[in-house]
Amino acid sequence: MKDGAAQPSSCTMPPRRSLFCKYFATLFVAAVVPLILGAAVEASFGYRDQRRQISAVLQADARAASDRIEAFTDGMRDQLGWMVQLPWSAGDDAQHKIDALRLLQQVPAIASVSLLDETGTERVFVSRLLLNRTGRGIDMSADPAVLGARGNKVWYGPVQYQQDSEPYMRIAVAGSLPAAGVAIAEVNLKLIWDVIAAIRIGETGYAIVVDDSGHLIAHPDISRVLRGRASSGSFGRIKHLVGAASGAAVITGERGNPVVALSVQAADVGWTVIAMQPTAEAFASIRAALWRSSILIAFGVLVALALAYWRAHRMSGPIKQLEEGVERIRTGQFEHRIKIFSGDELQQLALRFNEMASELAISQQKSARIERLKQFLPSQVAELVEHSHELLEGQRREVAVIFGDLRGFTAFSTRNEPDVIMAVMREYYEAVGAVTTRHEATLIGFDGDGVMLLVNAPIACEQPATQAVRLAIDLQMTVQALAGKWCDAGHGIGFGVGVAMGPATVGTVGYNGRLDYTAMGAVVNLASRLCNLAKDAQILADPTIAGRVRDSVPMASLGQRTIKGYDQALEVFAVAPADLPSKLPGLAQRRREKEAQDH
């Protein structure tokens, strides 16, 4: 039951949809997958290139900044070198002071200069803010600046935040002659802001400078530097993260946003320049490319959708048409034609289908004609008329002819009303027709109460004689059964059968569309005569039949009989009573009645 219910839906609807879906999905995937793959590959390569390029840009900018910072400190060192070229001699403090003042003029970042003699005693001090001093002053020989400069010619002090705000550094330079003493400059590092502020990486990228311990020295927003030592902790973290990476690293920037950063060391002073650019900007071009790709993909997807839909529709549409066509043909609409003009195999298929439909129509017409022919011709003949003409050509062959004839019909027909006669005749004809069909014999025709049957023509059979006899027995029994019924109704009707076998000419004869299939020859006459000779419930056969069926059906010879139209007497055989069931209903009674009528 479940199967029966599921069958129609699973057989008809889903396959159509799934074919459409399959084509649609396949075409769609075929168009979209390469598009997406292409974009993904493009994006990944683009990202790598972009990353490399950003690295290069950051490297260049950080390097430039570090170079300029080195130039700044080198310049400072060189300028201080001038201060310690000549050895100290008595009374030239004034000249040294002028030199120092000129140095201040020359280098804006220097806030003050101390010039010490070889003993480490301050001889000249000039400042932008404080009062200048000349002459022997304080002893600074134990100052780390003096010690550092004496040991190493040049000494860079640690970054210190004046009033915990402004970054300062001391630089000390010792002369090549110990007698030239040492020059110590206090440098305001706010001035390297110019170096850093000038660096712009892209739109919003920038560079910062931190010292060895991660404290901020320079930043484009100088107020961050001025916040002093305490608040520069986050820069230590950035320095550490960037320093740990080789090349550019993506880290969380000072404002909590992700940045791409790269650091470069400024050798002399041990500072680190960190160049950074917000990732949002650094990868903007990649993002733009991704956007472009996405739009292209979206467009491609739409086109692919439309194309795939169209293609799949073009594919499934004709198939649906074909299916409908088949359905129509099934319901007998043979005039239905499928119109497909796709110019491909489907059109070819439609063409073939249409041919098939027209042939089906012809064949249907043919079978309709056969049906009509069957009304007038024996069904085998009717088939043959349609299918093979040569079989129906007049030909000579051995046939078995069976005649049957009702006994006492004349008396019955004169005594009864026509409709009663008609009812009896109908029963009789139906019974004969049924037996004929059962034994595949050919019903040549009814002639009133007589009937003529043919065996082995037009359709050949293996043992025509035996078949003819069996047919005769069957026929006799069937009609006798009817005769019993008729007898009960008061009609004394009997039935006799004659069977003969011999060569005859068989074929169709007729005129103007009315065709009859018949046999001509002596055997037909003989069978007819034998029928006439036969008594009620008797089957008479000629010697040919008797000879042929002797082994299977017992025959009783009735002796030589003279038969009308034959010069010599002919031996006549009767199918043995043992083979004819003797207890045919009402036979004895009919015989008595008959005998009474005959006498």
Partner 1 sequence: MKRREFIFLIGGGLAWPAIARAQGGAKLHRIFWVSTESEPDPFLDGFRDGMRALGYVEGKTVTFETHYAPGNPQALRKIVSELQRGDVDLVVSSGPATRGMTAITDIPVLFALSGDPVALGVVKSLAHPGTNFTGSTFLSLELAGKRVELLKDIYPKLRKLAVFSNTDHPGEPLEWRATLESCRNLGIEAAYVPFCGAREIENGLMAAGKVDADALLVFPDAVTLVHRAKIAELAIAHRLPSMFGWSEYCDAGGLLSYGANQRTTYFRLATYADRILRGEYPSDLPVMRPEKFELAINMKTARLLGIKLDVSSILFRASKVIS
- CB closer to partner 1 out of 215 and 529: 215
* Residue 208 or 475 having the CB closest to partner 1: 208
Cα–Cα distance for residue pair 129/204, rounded to 1 Å: 37
Q: What are the DSSP E strand ranges found in 175-225?
A: 182-188, 206-210, 216-218
Of 439, 473, 452, 441, residue with least CA distance to 527: 452
Is residue 412 near partner 1 by the rule CB under 8 A?
no
Residue 284 lies near partner 1 (rule: CB under 8 A): no
Binding mask 167-206 for partner 1 (x = CB under 8 A): ---------------------x-xx-x---x------x--
Tokens standing for residue 77: 């060192």
CB of 179 to partner 1, least distance (A): 25
Q: For the CA atoms of 411, 412, 414, 419, what is the dihedral angle to 10 degrees?
A: -170
- Judged by beta carbon, residue 88 or residue 161, the one nearer partner 1 is 161
Question: Which residue number, 132 or 285, has a Cβ lying nearer to partner 1?
Answer: 132
Name the minimum Å distance from CB 99 to partner 1.
10
Q: Give the shortest CB-193-to-partner 1 separation in angstroms.
A: 7
Q: What is the CA angle 186-192-198, rounded to 5?
A: 170
Q: Residue type for 296, please?
A: L
Q: Considering only 126-134, 238-246, 291-299, 558-566, which stretch makes contact with partner 1 by CB under 8 A?
A: 126-134
Give how far Cα 307 sits from Cα of 31, 222, 297, Å: 9, 61, 15
**In terms of CB distance, is 132 or 321 closer to partner 1?**
132
Interface residue with partner 1 among 81, 87, 220, 450 (CB under 8 A) is: 220
Nearer to partner 1 by Cβ, of 224 and 485: the residue is 224
Q: Is 226 in the site for partner 1 (CB under 8 A)?
A: yes
Task: For residue 170, give Cα distances in angstroms to 107, 125, 269, 430.
Answer: 14, 14, 11, 140
Of 210, 205, 214, 180, nearest to 83 by C-alpha is 180
C-beta of 278: minimal distance to partner 1 in Å? 9
Instruction: Give the whole-angstrom CA distance, residue 325 versus residue 333.
Output: 9
Interface pick for partner 1 out of 231, 252, 347, 525 (rule CB under 8 A)? 231
Site for partner 1 in 63-102 (CB under 8 A): 97-98, 101-102
Cβ-proximal residues to 220 (8 Å cutoff; 6+ apart), any chain: 193, 196, 197, 199, 206, 207, 208
Find the part of the chain contacting partner 1 (CB under 8 A) among 57-65, 158-166, 237-245, 472-480: 158-166
Interface residue with partner 1 among 1, 9, 11, 223 (CB under 8 A) is 223
Of 208 and 432, the one with the shorter C-beta distance to partner 1 is 208
Are 181 and 88 spatial neighbours (Cβ–Cβ below 8 Å)? Answer: yes
Piece in contact with partner 1 (CB under 8 A), picked from 56-64, 122-130, 283-291, 315-323 = 122-130
Q: How far is the CB of 170 from partner 1 (least distance, A)?
A: 16
* Residue 512 CB contacts under 8 Å (≥ 6 apart), including other chains: none
Return d(Cα 206, Cα 204) in angstroms, integer: 7
Q: How far apart are the first and last CA of the chain?
A: 72
Between 258 and 502, CB nearer to partner 1: 258
255 Cβ neighbours under 8 A, 6+ residues apart: none
Per DSSP bridges, beta strands 133-134 and 216-218 are unpaired
- Residue 102 CB, shortest distance to partner 1, in Å, is 6
Select from 496, 384, 509, 538 the least CA-distant residue to 445.
509
Task: Specify the residue, 161 or 409, whose C-beta has the smaller distance to partner 1.
Answer: 161
Of the listed pieces 81-89, 221-229, 513-521, 526-534, which binds partner 1 according to CB under 8 A? 221-229
Q: CB of residue 62 vs partner 1: minimum separation in angstroms?
A: 19
Q: How far is the CB of 221 from partner 1 (least distance, A)?
A: 4
CB atoms under 10 Å from CB of 547, counted, come to 13
CB of 282 or CB of 524, closer to partner 1: 282
Q: How far is the CB of 211 from partner 1 (least distance, A)?
A: 16
d(CA 568, CA 288) in angstroms, rounded, equals 122
Q: Is 431 in the site for partner 1 (CB under 8 A)?
A: no
The DSSP element (H or E) to which 323 belongs, if any, is: helix 284-330
Q: Is residue 543 close enough to count as binding partner 1 by CB under 8 A?
A: no
Rounded to the nearest whole angstrom, what is the least distance from the CB of residue 164 to partner 1 in the complex?
Answer: 5
Taking the CA atoms of 356, 357, 362 and 364 in sequence, report the sign of the dihedral they define. Answer: positive
Distance of closest approach, residue 132 Cβ to partner 1, in angstroms: 6
Cβ 95 to partner 1, closest distance in Å?
10
CA dihedral 79, 80, 84, 86 (to 10 degrees): 20
Which tokens go with 512? 């103007």
Q: Give least dist CB 224 to partner 1, A.
A: 8
Beta bridge partners of residue 161, listed in sequence order: 167
Nearer to partner 1, 226 or 305 (CB): 226
By CB under 8 A, is residue 130 in contact with partner 1? yes
Q: Which is nearer to partner 1, 231 or 505 (CB)?
A: 231
Part in contact with partner 1 (CB under 8 A); list of ranges 41-49, 125-133, 322-330, 429-437: 125-133
The count of residues interacting with partner 1 (CB under 8 A) is: 33
Q: Least CB distance from residue 127 to partner 1, whole Å?
A: 8
Q: Which residue of 1, 5, 90, 131 would you call a contact of partner 1, by CB under 8 A?
A: 131
C-beta neighbour count of 512 within 10 angstroms: 5
Residue pair 504/454 in contact by the 8 Å Cβ criterion: no
- The radius of gyration computed from the CA coordinates of the chain, to the nearest angstrom, equals 65
105 binds partner 1 (CB under 8 A): yes
Interface with partner 1 by CB under 8 A: which residues?
97-98, 101-102, 104-105, 108, 111, 128-132, 161, 163-166, 188, 190-191, 193, 197, 204, 220-223, 226-228, 230-231
